[in-house]
Structure 1
Amino acid sequence: MAGMTSVLAVVLAGGLARRMGGGDKPLRMLGGQPLLNHVLARVGPQVAGVILNANGDAGRFAGYGLPVVADPVPDHPGPLAGILAGLDWAAAMRPEIADVLSVPGDCPFLPADLLARLRAARAAAGVPMACAASGGWTHPPVALWPVALRGELRAALLAGERKIDRWTARFGCASAEWPAEPFDPFFNANAPDDLAEAERLLSSGLAGPIGTASRTISGDLP
C-alpha cells in the first residue's frame, strides 16, 4: 500500500477489561484464536509495523514478537495514554514514521481499507487527524495520529484530559464512514455476550475469514 512505510500501528491492549471480568481482553479466544490475532491479521498488512500498548508484565505477549510499550503517564488514564505511548515509541525508535494508526485490541473485524480511507478523509478535510465512523457513531480510538502532536497530547494528559474527541477537536479531526450492515467492522468485544456475538458473525461468514496472525506479524520492526 502506498505510503504505508510512514505509518505505524499501535494496538491498544492496556485496558482493565472490567466488563469482561478482568484480565486481557485481546487474549480472550474467538474462533479458536486470541482476539489479538484477528486484530493483527487485519491491521498488519496495512502498515510498516505494529506495536502493542499494554501495562504490567509484557511477557504475556511474548509469543507475538512485537514491542510492548506501557502507558507513559500513571494511573491508567485511558486510550489517550496508549496513543501517546505509540507516538513516543515511533519518535524514539522509528523517526521516519510520520503517523500512528491506533486500533483497540478487542476489535476483530477491522476493515482492510482502514488506513487508506482515514488518510483520504484527513487529506480531503485538510486536518491533522481522522477517525473511523459507522452506523452514525464515531470511534475515536480507531484513528490516525501525527507523531508531531505528541508534545501537545502529553501536556493535555498531564493536565487531566481523558476524552479523545474533546482533545482532537482542538486541532481538527475528519471522519471516514463505513456501513454497519451486514456487520459493523468496528464491533468490539467488551463483554462475554459480545464474544458470543462475534462467534456468530464468524460462523455465519459475514465477517470474513478468521485471522491467522502470529509472531510473524512484526514486519520490519527491530
Structure 2
Amino acid sequence: MILTEHITGLILAGGRAQRMGGIDKGLIPFHQKPLIEATLTRLKPQVGSVLINANRNITKYAGYGYPVIMDETPDFSGPLAGFSVGLKACTTPYLMTSPCDSPLLPTDLAAKLATELERGDYQLVYASSQEADGKVWAQPVFCLMRTDLQDSLDAFLQKGDLKIDRWFKELKSSTVIFDDARAFANINTPEELQSLEAASA
C-alpha cells in the first residue's frame, strides 16, 4: 500500500505564463493570497514532503519553507523539465505533480492515483476530468509516478522531445477520471482568474 509519507509533492511553478503577461503565476493573488498558497493547502495533507519547481522569484518561493529546485534546461522547457529535476531531488518512492495555478485541485488526488497505480502495477497514473457533457480531458500535469523513471525521462528529453503525452505513451501508464472538471481549472488569463475566484467564493 502506498502511504502518504511515500509520496513527495512537486508543485510546478517554473512556467513563463505568457498569456498572463509574463507574470509569475504562482504569485498572482487569488482570494488575496498568492495562488501557490491555495495549491499548497490542498496538496500538503496528501503527501509526506513538498518540493517547488520555480525558475524565477526563488527567494519568495523559498519563503514557504520547502526546497525550491530550478530546471536544469534553459528556456522554460515545460513541465517535463520540472518532472526531471523533481525526480532527481525526490527521496521517496513516488512523486506526485501539480501545477501552481490550479487552486481547486482534488483533495483525494493522491489517494485515487495511488489506488490505480497499485491496481495495475503502473509506472505512472495521471488525472483526467469529465465535463458535464461527458467529454473527458487528460490532465497530464497532475500525475503520480514511480521515482525510478528518471532514466526513462532523461532519455526522452535527450531526444529533444518535450511533449508530455508522448513520454506517457512510452510507459506503462493509466488515468483516473475525476467528475469535477473545475477541480483542474487553471489560470491562464486575467479573465479565468476572475471567474475562478467568483466560482470558489
Q: TM-score range by the shorter chain?
A: over 0.9
Rounded to whole Å, the distance in 1 between the matches of 2:109 and 2:129 is: 12
CA 1:48–1:170 in structure 2 vs 1: closer, same or farther (change >3 Å)? same
In structure 2, what residue type is equivalent to 1:152? S
Deviations 1:180-199 (A, max 9, x none): 3xx51101011101101111
CA distance in 1 between counterparts of 2:198 and 2:163 reads 32
Whole-angstrom distance in 2 between the partners of 1:57 and 1:30: 18
Residue aligning to 1:121:
116
Q: Is 2:106 the partner of 1:111? A: yes
Bigger proportion of residues as strand: 2
Given that 1:31 and 1:202 are in contact with CA atoms closer than 8 Å, whether structure 2 keeps it comes out as: no
Match of 2:7 in 1: 7
Q: How many residue pairs were aligned?
A: 196
Q: CA deviation at 1:128?
A: 0.9
Give unpaired runs (5+ residues) of structure 2.
131-135
CA distance in 2, matches of 1:186, 1:195: 13
Is the aligned partner of 1:35 residue 2:29? no
Find the counterpart in structure 1 of residue 133 from structure 2.
Answer: none
User: Equivalent residue for 2:73?
Assistant: 73
Rounded to whole Å, the distance in 1 between the matches of 2:160 and 2:75 is: 11
Partner amino acid for 2:59? Answer: G
Counterpart residue number, 1:188? 186
SS of alignment partner, residue 15 of structure 1 = coil
Map Cα deviations across residues 19-75 of structure 1 (whole Å, 9 max, x no partner). 011121011011111110100000001101111001134112132111100012233
CA-to-aligned-CA distance 1:100-158 (integer Å, 9 cap, x gap): 00000000001111001001122223321100011200101100111101011012112
* One-letter amino acid of the counterpart of residue 127, structure 1: Y
Instruction: Map residues 192-203 of structure 1 onto 2, 5 A cutoff.
Output: 192-203=190-201
Partner of 1:130: 125
Query: What residue in structure 2 maps to residue 47 of structure 1?
Result: 47
Counterparts of 1:117 and 1:139, CA distance in 2: 14
Q: Is the 8 A contact 2:2 2:114 kept in 1?
A: no
Where relative contact order (Cα < 8 A, 6+ residues apart) is larger, the structure is: 1
Contact 2:13–2:26, Cα closer than 8 Å, also in 1: yes
Partner SS state of residue 177, structure 2: strand
> In structure 2, how many angstroms separate the alpha carbons of the residues matched to 1:149 and 1:62?
26
Q: Which residue of 1 aligns with 2:62?
A: 62
Q: How many angstroms apart in 1 are the aligned matches of 2:170 and 2:154?
A: 14
- Taking the aligned partners of 1:119 and 1:133, their CA distance within structure 2 comes to 14
Q: Give the conservation status (yes or no) of the 8 Å contact 2:117–2:124.
A: yes
Runs of 4+ off more than 3 Å: none
In structure 2, give the amino acid aligned to 1:47: V
- The 3-state SS of whatever aligns with 1:82 is helix
Partners of 2:56 and 2:31 lie apart in 1 by 26
CA contact (8 A) 2:5 2:48 kept: yes
Identity of aligned residues (%): 36
